[in-house]
């Protein structure tokens, strides 16, 4: 799974309001790192738009990928705390 896919999976797993807050926070953070914050913002929004779907099969596949990703992170963490509860 690429970083882009992981971000999209995370956003898809969150309620819409939380996903919007996370996007706003990411854009704000990227703006502090990147002199071309407008470009970074456009890129994040483009990724979100490119991956948007209402196809039930695609959504189920994304859910399965997310569960596998989260389980793998939890299985290979370096501390006693779970990454994804």
In the numeric block, the tokens 């502090």 are attached to: 32
pLDDT tens, per residue, the chain with 85 residues: 677 778 778 878 888 788 888 877 877 777 677 666 677 777 878 888 888 888 899 889 988 998 898 888 888 877 777 666 6
Which pLDDT score is estimated for 46?
86
Whole-model pTM: value is 0.46
Q: What total number of domains does the chain contain?
A: 1
What domain range includes position 48? 3-75
Question: Rounded to 5 degrees, what angle do the CA atoms 22, 74, 77 make?
Answer: 100
Which residue, 67, 70, 65, is CA-closest to 83? 70
Q: Quick check: is 50 in a domain?
A: yes
The answer to whether residue 35 sits within a structural domain is yes
How many residues in total does the chain contain?
85
Q: Is residue 82 part of a domain?
A: no
Within a domain: 83: no
Q: Is residue 55, in this structure, part of any structural domain at all? A: yes
pLDDT of 75 reads 83
Joined tokens for residue 9: 């999976």
């Amino acid at each position: 799974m690429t970083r882009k896919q992981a971000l999209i999976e995370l956003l898809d797993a969150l309620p819409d309001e939380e996903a919007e807050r996370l996007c706003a926070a990411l854009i704000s953070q990227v703006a502090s790192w990147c002199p071309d914050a407008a470009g970074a913002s456009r890129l994040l929004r483009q990724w979100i738009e490119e991956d948007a779907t209402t196809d039930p099969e695609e959504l189920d596949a994304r859910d399965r990928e997310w569960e596998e990703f989260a389980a793998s992170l939890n299985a290979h963490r370096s501390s006693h705390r779970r990454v994804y509860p």
